[in-house]
Amino acid sequence: MEKHLKIAIFQLSLFGINTYIVFDPIKHEGVIIDPGISNPREEKALIDFINRENLKITNIINTHLHIDHAIGDSIVAEKFEAPVLAHEDDLPLGKGIVQQAQMFGLTTNPQTPEITSFINDGDIIKVGDGELKVLHVPGHSPGSIVLYDESDHFLIAGDVLFKGSIGRTDLQGGNHSALISGIKTKLMPLPDNTIVYPGHGEPTTIGEEKLYNPFLR
């Protein structure tokens, strides 16, 4: 299969969130995944990259609606006039983003993310000539999704799977056994060479996590 999509990674300050831009460099189309920008400098870095690559942003996608992943939704939605996508089961989290800020002791006053449409397990999101498949893997949050690009062999994992770890399940709507079984049934069957880009920390692969992740034994 032919390669289509590229990834740009922005490691940002709010809990070390990774914001991703997945884009087709030939068709000049891209999506912003988990806009965690929380200051003007981070906003500028993201916007400068998009302008430099001359990208049309077709969608903004939230892997889930924790504050670090959704705090920049309204800024980029307005700037790029793009729809914001998330799983319906995380709506209560999104509506409670101010409470999330308070819970984590943040002094920022985040804007409630306005979700334009809901995405579900099995949905395909087009990005230029490439595509991302939505897999619903609840447990870290009820509406956590990951995005799988079969032809380019990568997975945007949100806070579902990390290098050597998995998402925490002690927050609102968390469910440890659902998370473990979702990872085992939906992610581990993917090819070993699939690169996993998590919401925090360094990339890994499905093969590496199969061998070394202590939570999946």
Residues that bind Zn ion (CB under 5 A): 66, 68, 159, 199
Parallel, antiparallel, or unpaired for β 18-24 and 195-198?
A: unpaired
By the 8 A CB rule, do 56 and 28 touch? Answer: yes
Instruction: Give least dist CB 184 to Zn ion, A.
Output: 20
Distance in Å, CB of 94 to Zn ion, minimum: 12
DSSP-assigned letter for residue 140: S
116 contacts 144 by C-beta, under 8 angstroms: no
Q: Whose Cβ is closer to Zn ion: residue 55's or residue 76's?
A: 76
* Minimum CB distance to Zn ion, residue 27 (Å): 30
H-run or E-run covering 211: helix 206-212
Among 158, 180, 183, which Cα is nearest to 169's? 180
**Nearest residue (CB) to Zn ion, 16 versus 191:** 16
In a 3-state reduction of DSSP, which class is residue 103?
A: helix
| Helices first, then strands: H and E counts in the chain | 7, 14
CB of 68 to Zn ion, least distance (A): 5
Q: Which lies closer to Zn ion via its Cβ, residue 94 or residue 128?
A: 94
Between 55 and 135, CB nearer to Zn ion: 135
